[in-house]
């Protein structure tokens, strides 16, 4: 579950934990460790990963953390919205959103690609 530290991702990860899924949860900031502690209280195993999923390095770190374990479901929720009208946005901001919300939603190894949400 990516983007599991806050918002929609946090709530979905909590539901997954309550339904017995072990979790690998990722976000860019250390708050993911606090969220992981709360998910663990549901009785499942939780690995928190701090990684900027807008970067290849961050995606690779998440992939490495899977350690070859099978992934039943990838919930690719990490993302941001810039807001404002598209033509008023800075290109660097737009690029970061694309890198996070689009490019960062894939697992690099086709063998690891599960039901993709
Ligand atoms: N809320 C809405 O109305 C709405 C509408 C349409 C689409 N969405 C999309 O739904 C998703 C969740 O929305 P939300 O409102 O729950 O957002 P949110 O509360 O801001 O949560 C976003 C999550 O994604 C993580 N994240 C963002 N950029 C990241 C990056 N580069 N690398 C790793 N983690 C990253 C954040 O962690 P860090 O803070 O640690 O980076 C956080 O855990 C987003 O993709 C958003 O664009 C939301």
The residue whose C-alpha atom lies closest to atom 28 belonging to ligand 1 is 79
Task: Considering only residues 112 and 53, tell me which one the structure prediction assigns the higher pLDDT.
Answer: 53
Give the ligand 1 atom nearest the CA of 53.
32
- For position 86, what pLDDT does the model report? 85
Give the ligand 1 atom nearest the CA of 100.
31
Give the ligand 1 atom nearest the CA of 4.
43
- For position 84, what pLDDT does the model report? 86
Whether 30 is in the pocket of ligand 1, judged by its Cβ within 6 Å, is no
- 7-116: what CATH class? alpha beta
- DSSP secondary structure of 7-55: HHHHHHHHHHHHTT--EEEEESSTHHHHHHHHHHTTTS-EEEEE--TTS
pLDDT band at 113 (very low <50, low <70, confident <90, very high): low
pLDDT band at 81 (very low <50, low <70, confident <90, very high): confident
Encode pLDDT of 82-111 as tens digits.
888 888 999 999 999 999 999 988 766 656
Encode pLDDT of 12-49 as tens digits.
999 999 999 999 999 999 999 999 999 999 999 999 99
Measured in angstroms, how far is the CA atom of residue 39 from the centroid of ligand 1?
Answer: 18
CB 10 within 8 A of CB 4: yes
């Amino acid at each position: 579950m990516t983007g599991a530290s806050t918002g929609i991702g946090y709530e979905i990860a909590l539901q997954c934990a309550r339904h017995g899924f072990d979790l690998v949860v990722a976000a860019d900031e250390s708050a993911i460790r606090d969220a992981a502690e709360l998910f663990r209280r549901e009785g499942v195993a939780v690995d928190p990963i701090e990684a900027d999923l807008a970067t290849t390095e961050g995606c690779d770190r998440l992939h490495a953390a899977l350690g070859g374990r099978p992934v039943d479901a990838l919930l690719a929720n990490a993302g941001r919205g810039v807001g404002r009208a598209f033509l008023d946005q800075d290109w660097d901001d737009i690029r970061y959103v694309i890198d996070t919300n689009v490019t960062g939603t894939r697992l690099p190894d086709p063998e690891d690609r599960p039901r993709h949400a």
